[in-house]
Amino acid sequence: MITDPPLLKIRAGFPRPSAETVRQFSGAMTGHLVDAMGGSGALDWRIKPLAGRPQAFCGVAVTCDCGPSDNLALFGGLDVVKPGDVLMAATGGYMAAAVTGDLLAGMAKNCGAAALVTDGVVRDVAGLLDVGLPVYCAGVSANSPARNGPGTVGLPVMIGGVSVSPGDIVVGDGDGAVVVPLSQVDQVLARLVRIRAAEAALEAKVKAGLRIPEFITSILSSNRVERLG
């Protein structure tokens, strides 16, 4: 006889970066992180801070595959999340019902979550803002979800066009959210130092009156540009 499938599959013992590694990403600009990863890593542009209130965050991804109109996996994530973690709720981009409201977000904050990110929509905006947990989402809907599953916690998911694995580092600011794969953290940190230095140097030149940077003037004066008149 075929048995009913599990409502949830939960993997809590996934690899994690060290607390020191996470600390080194804290305060990093998402644009700098994207540059350090070759121009990618940002979630879909529609996933932005709730109500346009940027609340920067940095933490370890706890992935929750909720599916459409269901948030049982997100509740399951509360059993896995550790202080400083980021709950990543994948809905497949479902927009017809919220994946969370203020009460679940309040529980997440009580569990120590640093933020909640979803490719879906949320509800109870006033309550969510009162909770104070950074929430990044694709929109708002008053419709409520079910808690029936199936879902997964601690397994890879797709959110906003980016593959997210548990243990990845997630950073958010006013420009959106960026995922740094756990396997790339050392390389990204090394590149981040160089990118910050280069950005600071160019910013100083702009403030001093720079009109066109040298790396552009060299292209403009080369045979790679055809001038038509």
Mode of pairing for the β-strands spanning 98-100 and 121-122:
parallel
pLDDT value for 30: 97
| CATH code reported for the domain at 8-183 | 3.50.30.40
Per the CB < 8 A criterion, the answer to whether 41 and 185 are in contact is no
Q: For residue 195, give the amino acid letter.
A: I
Domain ranges of the chain: 8-183
pLDDT value for 229: 83
Number of other CB atoms surrounding residue 97 within 10 Å: 19
End-to-end CA distance of the chain: 79
| Consecutive 10-residue averages of pLDDT for the chain (229 residues) | 87 97 97 97 97 93 97 98 98 97 98 98 97 97 95 98 98 97 97 94 93 94 92
pLDDT value for 2: 77
pLDDT value for 3: 81
Distance CA 76, CA 27 (A): 29
pLDDT value for 4: 82
Strand, coil or helix: 147: coil
Distance CA 115, CA 59 (A): 8
Provide the CA 139 distance to its chain's centre, in angstroms. 15
Per the CB < 8 A criterion, the answer to whether 31 and 59 are in contact is no
* Tokens read off for 223: 């045979």
Mode of pairing for the β-strands spanning 57-65 and 85-90:
parallel
